[in-house]
A and B are shown apart, each in its own frame.
Chain A
């Protein structure tokens, strides 16, 4: 029987939805499930880890693990994988997952696959499906090792209703800090900010917004909808948006219920981060803009005119 170890995705002390999605998939393929949770002050997350669908919880809880550091985190995962005898080790899509997965694979001498959208098991043979070449093609990849370490693409698996696990907590020993890569400081996101990865609605602003006033205008729409507020690379490079708000191939991959692209042209690298969304709305003044090729609803118009009307109309329809 397959044994899946899912690495809990924890941010600001909360368990993110991706963890339950991966555990649901593991149960759906009939695997035995475990979760590895790494951080500081995370004891209280145990019920959430169980409810997400894990049957064993490997927990590394220590003040020294409060700030993410790829080396010690990888040691914890390797330890849990060995204790559990995992043959599949899955990370939910995150920058941290992308940094740790290859280390774990190297230490276990296992294969590593990133951005997978599916796993196929036939007997002992593991295969994965993943996009490549900026989503222009898909690949079916044959895994030749007994173990596979994988990062799952955002939105690939769905959390099943009514799944739960059993509590069986195993404490992991705490690895030494990485003295060769010392975190000096984290310029954290403003507290209370909505995480792009969790948001049901994501609104992204592009170069069409021109300057700070344009960005603020679109931000108001995002605030109205309690939406995650993201951006294209152009606005990150322009210094208007933080780097970790970038949606796309080299930023966040999002799959919300509703994605709004405001003043974004739809370069393939941007599309690679958002075409998994359920519904896409685009506002762009150029009717030939490639963003309209992927949008369910396209408004051809000047965003400075359209966004205030959007806000009004949404308020009206909601009341």
Chain B
């Protein structure tokens, strides 16, 4: 089985963020692998270990991605492709999906594993749109996976009515949730080996496409501005005798907030 895993470099969401003049202040920000994509990498590596697979990752944009890709190598990914092009600075999910379509078409993959969503956009679209472009079956919000035979996998999707068990004919696209696994920490030996591995870096021309073809010249949507989010104010905090403060709070819920 040939697996393509998508990995995006995103801003570290745990750090404080400030907005000024419609943009996010870059000072003090750090960039890390998208959390859901780490689960996608782990999913691929486990498939390689348990079922035998060739694993390739692709990351689009994000400037220097060497450290992130090496980390994925150290986790067990074998090949890495980095696509970087100035035309992609304002890309939305559908543009990334077009680029991924080009990558897929060059590689003859059986399975594409994406994350459920990017932490910098929280959009959750790229894998699903890619599947549409490729005419492949797709399941998102995947929380479990099992290989049935050469041509099929069985996945669990967390849906509205409960957990759905779905059989997918390969080639297929899945988007995984963080609950699917616990990503491993890279070990020393893997880290040392990763240093010697190559990363294939390409621009759009090298990929055999252009800004026009992937829609980058006319994005379907673009961020006009960032704004500070309205934060909730903290209210009243009660400490002391449990019976006393709990009775006090219940009275407030009934008489002040009027919610019980």
Q: Give the interface of A toward B (CB within 8 A).
A: 11-12, 67-68, 70-71, 94-96, 98-99, 101-103, 105-107, 110-115, 127, 129, 131-145, 178-189, 201, 225, 233, 236-237, 242-244, 246, 249-250, 257-258, 268, 275, 278-281, 287, 292-302, 305-306, 309-310, 313-314, 317-318
Contacts and interface: CB of A to CB of B under 8 A. Distances in A.
B129 A106 contact: yes
B163 A299 contact: no
A256 to B, nearest CB: 9
Contacts of A98: 124, 140-141
A115 B172 CA distance: 26
B221 A143 contact: yes
B133 A106 contact: yes
A180 B169 contact: yes
Contact of A112 (B125, B178, B225): B125
Interface of B: 11, 13-14, 17, 19, 24, 36, 92-94, 97, 116-117, 119-125, 128-129, 131-133, 136-141, 143, 154, 157-169, 172, 177-179, 218-232, 234-239, 242-243, 245-247, 249-254, 257, 259-260
A107 B259 CA distance: 44
Nearest to B97: A106
20 contacts: A11-B161, A70-B128, A106-B97, A110-B220, A112-B94, A112-B125, A112-B220, A129-B227, A133-B119, A134-B122, A137-B19, A137-B226, A180-B169, A242-B162, A268-B13, A287-B239, A295-B235, A297-B249, A299-B246, A318-B260
A130 B94 CA distance: 18
B257 A296 contact: yes
A113 B172 CA distance: 24
Contact of B221 (A113, A137, A236): A113
Nearest to A271: B232
A137 B260 contact: no
A299 B249 contact: yes
A116 to B, nearest CB: 11
B168 A95 contact: no
